[in-house]
A = this chain, B = another copy of it.
């Protein structure tokens, strides 16, 4: 049995999307057990309408919600009765619960994940590792994408280890790991990158292929991009933004030209597919690697499908014993100089 706590509030379409995603997950993953946290008076009537295996779902009452505008460190202390913190404390205290999925406040999750769930021994700081689709039909992970804006060489080494093991849970063998930099030569970049290159290169557990420039993110030539959370955030958001703006521009240009309208009619389905392709909600959540339990953060605008994808992701990570494997590899790292 794999048991996951699902925070049912905090998203744009909560709790409906969360509950629908949970029902789908129970249906498709036979040895999954779920604990839903949130206001029972809201959740129970919604559940009453559904048909599902009641022996594998329970509700933990939590009357409060942490908003995205609240200061994370304050919110996690003051809102102990929130759906997020109830789920976090359950994961912290109950050995039979393997992880947490939420689509609520990112900041509160990072703070609570680090302070309450706790770090795997040796891990400096947990890091986000979202997944994007590549143009060759595969995926690419980016670690860190925003949990840590000020990082050290040792942290980048750990991001490389944790991200590699995570991608292996997707079935990738020896993921190709690159360091995000402003040029491919090993002498490029700021002081951090210059020092990180040989340090990552020296790790046998990581298949390091060198520096990567930002324009190669979607090329399919790399499986994991290692970077600080500031540059990682810029990388992901500018890529998403550019793809969506490009599609919007194409559509606008088509509708401004009569001759193209005919073409557009024929291509309508394809445009829809391209938008789907870029929709991060189809790729599950961003996992917070390095915590003692599995932590998955879905996008705030998640629908039922994306909540399901997040649950499936958490399930696969546990099935692959990811936490234990990260612990083993981190413990093998040579002590810092």
Contact residues of A with B, CB < 8 Å?
135, 146, 149-150, 180, 182, 189-191, 193, 213-219, 229-231, 233-250, 253-254, 257, 259-260, 262-267, 270, 273-274, 277-278
Tell me if A's interface is mostly helix, strand, loop or mixed: helix
What's the least CB distance linking A154 to chain B, in Å? 17
Question: Measured between alpha carbons, how far is A257 from B193 in the docked complex, in Å?
Answer: 44
Given known contacts A149-B189, A230-B189, A250 and B274 CB-to-CB distance under 8 angstroms: yes
What's the least CB distance linking A142 to chain B, in Å? 11
Contact A266 B259, beta carbon cutoff 8 Å:
yes
Question: Measured between alpha carbons, how far is A260 from B244 in the docked complex, in Å?
Answer: 21
Question: Measured between alpha carbons, how far is A266 from B253 in the docked complex, in Å?
Answer: 13
Assembly stoichiometry (copies)? 2
- Contact residue among B234, B257, B273 (Cβ-Cβ distance under 8 Å from A234): B234
Contact B245 A219, beta carbon cutoff 8 Å:
yes
Residue of B nearest to A132 (CB): B242
Question: Measured between alpha carbons, how far is A214 from B237 in the docked complex, in Å?
Answer: 5
- Contact residue among B239, B245, B257 (Cβ-Cβ distance under 8 Å from A270): B257
- Contact residue among B193, B257, B262, B267 (Cβ-Cβ distance under 8 Å from A254): B267
Contact A260 B266, beta carbon cutoff 8 Å:
yes
- Contact residue among B149, B190, B235, B274 (Cβ-Cβ distance under 8 Å from A190): B149
Contact A253 B270, beta carbon cutoff 8 Å:
yes
What's the least CB distance linking A124 to chain B, in Å? 16
The 9 closest A-B pairs by CB, nearest first: A215-B241, A263-B266, A263-B263, A214-B237, A149-B190, A214-B238, A242-B242, A215-B237, A182-B233
